[in-house]
Amino acid sequence: MTEEKTSVLVIYTGGTIGMTKDSLTGALVPFDFSNIYEQMPVLKNFDYKIDFHSFETLIDSSNMKPSFWIRLAEIIEDNYEHYDGFVVLHGSDTMAYTASALSFMLENLNKPVIFTGSQLPMGVIRTDGRENFLTSIEIAAAKEESMAIVPEVAIYFENQLMRGNRTTKFNAERFNAFVSGNYPLLADVGVHIRFNKSNILKPNFKKLKVHTRLDFNVTILKLFPGISENIVKNTLAIPGLKALILETFGSGNAPTDEWFIGCLEEAIKGGLIIYNVTQCKSGSVELGKYATSLGLERIGVIGGFDITTESALSKLMYLIGEGYPKDRMIELLQIPIRGEMTVE
């Protein structure tokens, strides 16, 4: 009796990686994945079953919306029992947002969901897409003792595998477009793929549970020197707003002006959740470390430790959408539920 081949579903959503030059016009057009084996015969060297699913309407990642995250989660749910792993081809600009969102939406994930893309289209000679694509397939298929090595949502880009909800796009030009400033790599890729197994989430063998009830009444306020009372008040007065991500300086610091603290305090008393996330690419919010964060702590601003803005946004959308009581939500915002933060 022959053993079944490891199977991987590649989901093409749009983005740079899936573009190639039209032979007649020279313009960039979407890659035809139905002919992928003819255009990329090296795929035949993988001893895997590789299938492809393209979104009917391809989307540039700048047009990303939570409704798209829901559709992507549903595709994975519908195919979860039929494949050993998934590769999602996605535009790099908002990839960290989508990967973060999927990490919360896919509870009890025990299979790899590997996001990748490229800075240059697949159809360009110097493309980084080819290597990103092939290695992502290999990672999605990787097993040890019949178990997936990377049973979590991750991003693979330029020789580095990172936890999806720990990443931020920090470079629009270089091939190493992403950084995981607060969490070590899941794998380094060179001649060999070296998995850092102690950094990878362990499978829990529970049944996959997909959450698609997201609440979009969340916004972000980035602090800057000279921010005005008018800007803060108008942001806090957005109709229907349920949560605000406050991007603060350094380790969670903010202006100490009386009007500023007063505006936030009034909003919190009115039921708004305010989540303190640092603007820095590396480091953690430590409320009370400096006098400039004591006021925030006193009025009930919630510290987000080292969570990224991308992850904070999707975590809030998920928690509010699930209808958690406010007290429980505040607890969950301060602990890791998908490996998205480190609390010390």
State pLDDT tens for residues 328-342: 999 999 999 999 999
Q: What is the pLDDT of residue 172?
A: 75
Task: Name the DSSP letter for residue 183.
Answer: S
CB of 128 within 8 A of CB of 112? no
Of the listed 2, 6, 13, 16, which one is catalytic? 16
CATH hierarchy code of domain 6-210 = 3.40.50.1170
Residue 57, C-beta contacts closer than 8 angstroms, at least 6 positions apart: none
Look at the alpha carbons of 314, 318, 321, 324 in this order and tell me if their dihedral is positive or negative.
negative
Q: What is the pLDDT of residue 16?
A: 75
Amino acid, single-letter form, for residue 77: E
Tell me the three-class secondary structure of 285-344, residue by residue: CCCCCCHHHHHHHHHCCEECCCCCHHHHHHHHHHHHHCCCCHHHHHHHCCCCCCCCCCCC
Structure tokens at 50: 């590789």
Domain ranges of the chain: 6-210, 218-332
* Spatial distance between the Cα atoms of 331 and 326, rounded to a whole number of angstroms: 9
CATH topology of domain 218-332: Rossmann fold (3.40.50)
Q: What is the pLDDT of residue 208?
A: 98
Residue 1: pLDDT band with limits 50, 70, 90:
very low
> Are domains 6-210 and 218-332 of this chain identical in fold?
yes
Residue 23: pLDDT band with limits 50, 70, 90:
low
Rounding to the nearest 10 degrees, give the CA dihedral for residues 317, 322, 327, 333.
Answer: -40
* Spatial distance between the Cα atoms of 114 and 200, rounded to a whole number of angstroms: 13
* Spatial distance between the Cα atoms of 238 and 235, rounded to a whole number of angstroms: 6
Neighbours of 31 (CB within 10 A): 22
Residue 53's DSSP bridge partners are 11
Q: What is the pLDDT of residue 41?
A: 79
42 exposed, middle or buried (CB, 10 Å; 0-12, 13-18, 19+)? exposed
Residue 163's DSSP bridge partners are 154
Q: What is the pLDDT of residue 293?
A: 80
State pLDDT tens for residues 312-326: 999 999 999 999 999
* Spatial distance between the Cα atoms of 274 and 293, rounded to a whole number of angstroms: 13
16 catalytic per annotation: yes
Q: What is the pLDDT of residue 20?
A: 72
Q: What is the pLDDT of residue 3?
A: 65
